[in-house]
A = this chain, B = another copy of it.
Amino acid sequence: MNSLAKSWISISADSDFSIQNIPFGIIKHLKTQHISVSTRIGDTIVDLSVLADLGAFSSIKGFDKSTLTNLYLNDFIALGKTVTSAVRLEIIELFKESNKDINQKYTASFLQLKDVENLLPVKVGDYTDFYSSIDHATNIGTMIRDPKNALMPNWKYIPVGYHGRGSSICVSGHTFHRPKGQQKPADSEFPTFGPSKLLDFELETAYIVGKSTTLGESISTEKADDYIFGMVLFNDWSARDIQTWEYIPLGPFLSKNFASTISAWVVTLDALEPFRTKGYTQEPKVFPYLEYRGNKNIDIKLEVAIMPENSSETVICNSNYKYMYWTMEQQLAHHTINGCNVNIGDMMGSGTISGPEPHEYGSMMELSWKGTKPLKLNDGSERKFINDHDTVILRGYCQNENIRVGFGECKAKVLPAN
């Protein structure tokens, strides 16, 4: 791919959806209710099922047009990376500037943003969340345990992870009610019941598994990228007060599974490859099954904004995916070292991504330091945690001197407890 290629579709310089991106998602045409696999270029939605009807992709071996009108990307992903990567490259080719004159017929696949709704891109099977940012784990350990032993003894040996709930994963743009549950106030001997008072976001990314394994099989760090289709932004909403009371000894449960939000467009690992960067130096040395070669972190600039009802937004966090201690490849090798099988459509969350500086912390828990340092928003209000009617927006993109590849928004609005 020529990284300097321009498109004959209009794309603003700051768009996440450059011709080098070509993410995949599921859109519904609002007028016809037609559902299709699509991509986005600038502010233009391109319906891949129409492209295929017009003759595109027909020379790609193993391509199957019927996967483009499904409710989820899973069957498209199941065609394999050889096919899906070729589809992406053909789209880039179709819409690059030099091919404008010969490809005018493909404008029939174009839709405007206002005419479509993004649906959940993937039918998530099993969902796992990791805990792989060292700054986040250190901050939490410092706050709730001991600053001198902030990291648990296992943290630098194991990419710690746990199973989450797939059913409550929603696509960007949804609303949800503040969860109710049991909490035990620090000054009370007994628990109470009611709406969570400490609702928090968690700035994460997640990757979508693109190739299945069978029970008993393990994936090496070297082969792991073959099993990673692409990435999304992920807000792992958390109710801190419910979490504190419930999580010992078996981990977070109702404090997490009331709702999670992912961005609508799955950005392929292919599109992210130009932004690979060096990983964390891991000391102590990891076990052989966790060793990896090359640059496996990715320089993804991340931000979080809070938008109160009828007000403008305030950016409260700027972080970066490059701060991850454990890479996706290590997470997948660890997840399968015991023979656990993975399936296409499984989702693996990064865990909250915090950087070393206070403005890079990826949750209110850290940003307000457990509520002791309220944040000031542009409208003059303060936040220790997230209020009813607040919309929380995650954004993320990669940028070098030539190209920008991004995720768009991952946003959701909190409604009062019902």
Q: Which residue numbers of A lie inside 8 Å of B, CB to CB? A: 125-126, 128, 131, 152-154, 157-158, 160-168, 170, 176-177, 179-182, 184, 191, 193, 215-216, 239, 242, 245-254, 257-259, 287-289, 334-335, 337-343, 346, 418
Nearest CB in chain B to that of A160: its residue:
B250
**CA of A338 to CA of B128, assembled, Å:** 20
Contacts of A191 in B (CB 8 A): 154, 157
Smallest CB–CB gap between A139 and chain B, Å?
14
A257 touches B340 (CB 8 A): yes
A338 touches B125 (CB 8 A): no
Contacts of A167 in B (CB 8 A): 125-126, 340-343, 346
Q: Which of B162, B216, B248 contacts A154 (CB 8 A)?
A: B248
Contacts of A176 in B (CB 8 A): 215-216, 339
**CA of A168 to CA of B125, assembled, Å:** 12
Q: Which of A153, A249, A335, A338 has the most CB of B within 10 A?
A: A338
B337 touches A126 (CB 8 A): no
**CA of A337 to CA of B242, assembled, Å:** 12
**CA of A257 to CA of B213, assembled, Å:** 14
Contacts of A342 in B (CB 8 A): 167
Nearest CB in chain B to that of A191: its residue:
B157
B338 touches A180 (CB 8 A): yes
**CA of A63 to CA of B339, assembled, Å:** 40
**CA of A215 to CA of B176, assembled, Å:** 8
B125 touches A215 (CB 8 A): no
Q: Which of B152, B166, B239, B339 contacts A259 (CB 8 A)?
A: B339
Smallest CB–CB gap between A113 and chain B, Å?
25
Nearest CB in chain B to that of A163: its residue:
B163
**CA of A271 to CA of B7, assembled, Å:** 65
